[in-house]
Amino acid sequence: MKMSRCFLPPLVAVLSVVALSSQAMAAGKAAKTQATVNKVVEINKQALAQIQASKFEAARDALWGAIAVLTDASMADHEIAARTHVHLAAVYMTGFNDKNKAIRQLVMALKINPSIKITPQVETPALDEALDAARNQASLPPGDRTSAAPAVPMAAAPESTPSPTSASGPAAGGSAAGGRRGAKKLADVEEPAPPAKAPEPFYCPLPSEVPPKEDILIRCLTQKAPKRSTATLFYRESGGEDFTPLPMTRSPQGWLTATVPAAAVTGNAFQYYLEAKIPGVKEPLTIGSSDGPDLMPILDGASPMNNRTLTLLLQGKDTSAKTVPTADDQAPLEEINKQYQIDEELRKYHRRLPGSFFIAVGGGLGATDHGPVDLDSHDIGPLGKVLHVGSGYSLASLFQLVPEIGYQITDRFAMSLQVRFQYTPTDSAGWLPATGVTTPRTYALAFFLRGQYAFFNAGNFQFFGSGIAGGGQRSFLGYVPKACNLLAFNAHCDAGTGHSDTISAGPVAFGAGAGVMYHLSRYLALWLEVRGILSPSPFIGLIEANGGFAFAYKFDFEKSAPPPVQETVGGWERPPEEREAPPADAPSE
């Protein structure tokens, strides 16, 4: 029977849609597979860095996490899984001196890729022997070590990794045996199994304290849907403003797990909070929050948060340090909380950060209070004596400028170098040098070392006290107005009364002040200050008011230069100087 032609166009359209859908599904699957491979490659890079830094427990857990990711994606027999098993074997052999587990991992790698070789970065004679034993168990002929693949370089802080771990091991491509000659041998402690039911809706057994510069292994569990829930750890480094999110991965035992890099464990306390999401539940479960994070004191001598410590915590045992505090110990929890409040206030309001350099510019007016003092023009009177002005108050200047450059030592205390330039114009029809009258001083320049302490904070306002010490050839001037006006009165003026004059203070001066600063941002502030300055010889006092703005900036001197451009070959980043071919078993992009 022949098909009617009227049915052909719809049939062709349906077949076309099916074909396109199949292609789209295949492309989506390939993209998902590649994304999983990329993720596991980054985990392996981290693990290699941790191995070289002798952080074997962190490397082991990271690699097992990679195996779990591949298993969930049905990629347990992928080429990258073989490479991960090789790195696990290196961890067990080098870090835990467990040859049996190393051989077991190598057998699993050989089942995926019978020709796989040891990554040169972790290769040792003991691991080569383990590979021979694994090949024997797998009924494979001995491998040729002379054609071993070149080293697989790792990034100390991969850009695409959410929680980079700094490494300080031997350089890539160096002697692996020599680099691990003094490696620390650790007792193997596997990750403990989680309890059958979490004692809390969101359960994370954590210690009361952790040591500085050590990885923190965090394990969590939810009561509901423990195998389908997800979680994220948020942590903030000491002195930082923002929290870094660290997605937690599922471990082979079923824990939600994350490892905080040692580089982030500094200062007096580790600040963190956690969020867990359960399928079908709208509100997430939380421990702490961004506004009120939990604090974990960082103390020398504390037990590292690893699987050993986790086992003790699950048994209800105390893991805190038992040492007696000394004068050099870190601050107790009360001081840590106090410092945290200070840090929180700095984050809440716009305050200048400790460690910031700042430049301030300002100026103002002032008045002097003085006793009998000589005039700067040295007017000669009828008796041939230098004229002077009696005690009283005088305008200090038309204006003065007080620029300064300084450093914010703490959140309240700052030191700076301040320059004071004062200009005082004179008022006269002219001076007569022939009669002994010279031009008065019209400016003063002085340098002061200045300290500032903020004794009270109110929002973005900061009330401070200050002190200065220093001087110059003339620290500051006082203005003496003229006493008579020849044009107006057509009268004779005594010497020194027909023009204005100045009096000089210095060369040494010191003083104190009080003021207020309003922070427009962390980098820009307006300020106003009233202060008194005293010159002991001659004895002249000055009261002045200044105002202006200050710009602050904190330089990050710890930032290193960007790494050199690296050649990407076979999924592994390779420095330019290494131009050898990638391992035959390295994953392809």
pLDDT digits (tens, 9 = 90+) for 51-60: 988 888 888 8
Structure confidence by residue, pLDDT tens digits, 209-239: 889 988 999 999 999 999 899 999 999 888 7
Q: Is the pLDDT of residue 332 over 60?
A: no
Q: What are phi and psi of 548, to 5 degrees?
A: 175, -150
- Asked if the model's pLDDT at residue 453 lies above 90, the reply is yes
Do 13-187+568-574 and 202-319+332-347 share a fold? Answer: no
Q: Are 392 and 454 in contact (CB under 8 A)?
A: no
Using 50, 70 and 90 to split pLDDT, how confident is the model at 173?
very low
In this structure, how many other beta carbons lie within 10 angstroms of the beta carbon of residue 209?
21
Assign 362 a pLDDT band (cuts: 50, 70, 90): very high
Q: How confident is the model at residue 467 (pLDDT cuts 50, 70, 90)?
A: very high
- Tell whether the model's pLDDT for residue 469 goes beyond 50: yes
| Helix/strand/coil percent split, the chain, to 5 | 25, 30, 45
Separation between Cα atoms, residue 384 and residue 368, nearest integer Å: 27
Q: How do 269-277 and 285-287 pair as beta strands?
A: antiparallel
Going by pLDDT thresholds of 50, 70 and 90, the confidence category of residue 488 is low
Mean pLDDT of all residues in 259-287? 90
Q: So what's the pLDDT on residue 508? A: 93
Of residues 61, 33, 72, 63, the one with CA closest to residue 45: 63
pLDDT tens-digit readout, 507-522: 999 999 999 999 888 8
Which range among 27-31, 390-394, 465-469, 562-566 shows the weakest confidence by mean pLDDT? Answer: 562-566
| Residue bearing the bigger pLDDT, 319 or 583 | 319
- Neighbouring CB atoms inside 10 A of 316's CB total 7
Which CATH number is 13-187+568-574 given? 1.25.40
275 pLDDT band (50/70/90 cuts)?
very high
Helix (H, G, I), strand (E, B) or coil at 325: coil
Q: Which of 287, 164, 250 is nearest to 215 (CA)?
A: 164
Query: Does residue 331 surpass a pLDDT of 60?
Result: no
Q: How confident is the model at residue 492 (pLDDT cuts 50, 70, 90)?
A: low
Does residue 571 register a pLDDT over 70?
Answer: no
Q: Are 302 and 269 in contact (CB under 8 A)?
A: no
What are the extents of the domains in the chain? Answer: 13-187+568-574, 202-319+332-347, 354-553
What is the Cα–Cα distance from 228 to 277, expressed in whole angstroms?
A: 9
Mean pLDDT value of segment 250-266: 89
How many Å apart are CA 482 and CA 480, to the nearest integer? 7
The larger pLDDT score, comparing residue 146 to residue 145, is at 145
CA distances from 250 to 228, 367, 528 (A): 9, 73, 57
Superfamily of domain 202-319+332-347: Immunoglobulins (2.60.40.10)
Average pLDDT over residues 109-114: 88
Q: Which CATH architecture has domain 354-553?
A: Beta Barrel (2.40)
What is the tens place of the pLDDT at every residue in 415-431? 999 999 998 877 764 45
Whether the pLDDT of residue 562 is over 70: the answer is: no
Cβ partners under 8 Å of residue 577, min gap 6: none
* Confidence band, pLDDT 50/70/90 cuts, at residue 154: very low
Higher pLDDT pick, 390 / 334: 390
Rounded distance between C-alpha atoms, residue 201 and residue 278, angstroms? 11
Q: Amino acid letter at 4?
A: S
Residue 494, pLDDT score: 63
pLDDT mean over 10-37: 67
Q: In terms of pTM, does the model score above 0.75? A: no
Integer CA distances (angstroms), 475 to 368, 504, 541, in order = 12, 7, 11
Better-scored residue on pLDDT, 180 or 46: 46
pLDDT for the residue 556: 57
Higher pLDDT, 396 or 35: 35
Query: DSSP secondary structure string, 455-512?
Result: EEEETTEEEEEEEEEEEEEESEEEEE--S--HHHH-----TTSSS-EEEEE-SEEEEE
